[in-house]
Structure 1
Amino acid sequence: SRELLLDLFEEYSEWYMNLAQEHGSLPRSISGVGENGRQFIYFLDGLELHHMVRNKFMRFVLEEFSAIAYVYGSLDIRGDSEEGGVEEVLDIVAADTEHYISGSWRVIRDGESRVTGLEHIGTRDGDDPDKHSGSWFLSGSFRFTDAEHARFSALWQDAKPGIVFKDRNSND
């Protein structure tokens, strides 16, 4: 539902703000929510996969979890054609099969390269997969080869001990 997407987007935005200010770090992560309210939070920085393979793996994880929605946070480097410079940007995407909310924040670092804050650049939402990046993991159909299924299944099983699982319906 749009309400769930908005909740996920706001939770992740606040969480990343706190991580930036309190810990000076912005880990790549994904969180999926199942129909039953069960949720996982998976830190992906230790996952050594090419970004295209990592995106396929994210689709696999969400499918295995029977996720109805997810939120994904990642750092990106963007070029500025006008000034010829580059900037580091945090992107957060919350999406289900029909809608997405996407926000971007400029990363602010101190002299020691420690993250000290985030400056909001903009937020957009929509329902057109063609106008959104490859991180809309629940849109469109997707098939995995037997080899991919075996590899991704093993990766997912190995990762589970380090993944945070919680129930969104409980007050804990």
Structure 2
Amino acid sequence: MHLFAENLAVEIASYYRNLALGHGVIPKVFTLVNGEGDQYLFFIDDLRMEKDEESQFLAYVVQAHEAVCYARGTLVILDKSQQLIEFAVIDRDDEEAIVCSAELTRDLEDKPVGLTDFEKTLAPKKTIFFSGLFEPVKLSEDRAEEFEGLWDEMKPKILHRTMGI
């Protein structure tokens, strides 16, 4: 597993903890890291796309930036009293993914007030529904231009930084 993948798992756990407990929000997050350590992070809901188009776009971004790993996270509501924040980190060269989950506690006003530590496990990459973003995506020339334009439009609004090793 690439060192960036392990670091990404630690960072996403901290990021979600800060968002949930500090700001009361739990967005669907997507982030990737390339071989030079450039990291991009954005909220998936901001895309406002259908599932298939969203998957194509995310694959386009992963491939255009030559990602070595990426992560996707979300809130999972099992019932009113049991909610989890879950994310998985997919490494390009590893058959296993890092899967992390923490239980979220809310108060009577539905505000997040507690989050357990993220439990980290390894799972076969093929069992993660969004693990195929490294697979070559075939896009029409128009669709590729559309995605390139969307990415250029998004770039100033997303978190971009260089990960330290």
Correspondence for 1:105: 102
| Residue of 77, 81, 88 corresponding to 2:83 | 88
Deviates more, 1:156-165 or 1:115-124: 115-124
Alpha-carbon shift at residue 93 of structure 1 (Å):
1.0
How many angstroms does 1:33 deviate by?
A: 0.9
Identical aligned residues as a percent: 23
CA distance in 2, matches of 1:118, 1:65: 33
Give the Cα separation in 1 of the matches to 2:106 and 2:22: 13
Q: Distance in 2 between matches of 1:106 and 1:141?
A: 35
Segments of 5+ residues of structure 1 without an aligned counterpart are 80-84
Query: Alignment partner of 2:108: what SS?
Result: coil
1: CA distance between counterparts of 2:58 and 2:36? 20
Aligned residues: 163
Q: Which residue of 1 aligns with 2:114?
A: 117
The TM-score normalised by the length of structure 1 is 0.79
- Preserved CA contact (<8 Å) 2:40 2:159: yes
Shift, 1:67, TM fit: 0.9
- Report if the CA contact (8 A) 1:74-1:90 is conserved: yes
Aligned residue for 1:117, secondary structure, equals strand
State the one-letter code of the partner of 2:99: S
The offset of 1:9, in angstroms, is 0.5
In structure 2, the residue matched to 1:82 is: none
Q: Any gaps of 5 or more consecutive residues in structure 2? A: none
Q: What TM-score, normalized to structure 2?
A: 0.82
Residues 1:161 and 2:156 are matched in the alignment: yes
